[in-house]
Copies of this chain bind each other. A is one copy, B any other.
């Protein structure tokens, strides 16, 4: 669940561990900052345009970004 009150983390929980790649429109990576001490990854979905928090620690998240860089 993504909430975005200024000055707090955007993801209320750890986020999902997997999102089917073909559903991914865009990946937003928020480095740690004064408003949120840990990195957050928010995935924008293709059809619905909805947003999902992706658990940065999940193997999927790590592979997703590593593979995206190999293209």
Q: Interface on A for B, CB 8 Å cutoff?
A: 21, 24-33, 38-39, 56, 61-62, 65, 68-69, 71
Which chain B residues lie closer than 8 Å to A27 at the CB level? 28-31
Q: Is the CB–CB distance between A61 and B69 below 8 Å?
A: yes
Q: Is the CB–CB distance between A31 and B39 below 8 Å?
A: no
Q: Is the CB–CB distance between A31 and B21 below 8 Å?
A: yes
From A21, A30, A69, A71, name the one whose CB has the most chain B CB atoms within 10 angstroms: A69
How far does the alpha carbon of A30 sit from the alpha carbon of B33 in the complex, in Å? 22
* Known A-B contacts A69-B61, A69-B62; A26 and B28 likewise in contact (beta carbons under 8 Å): yes
Q: Is the CB–CB distance between A39 and B68 below 8 Å?
A: yes
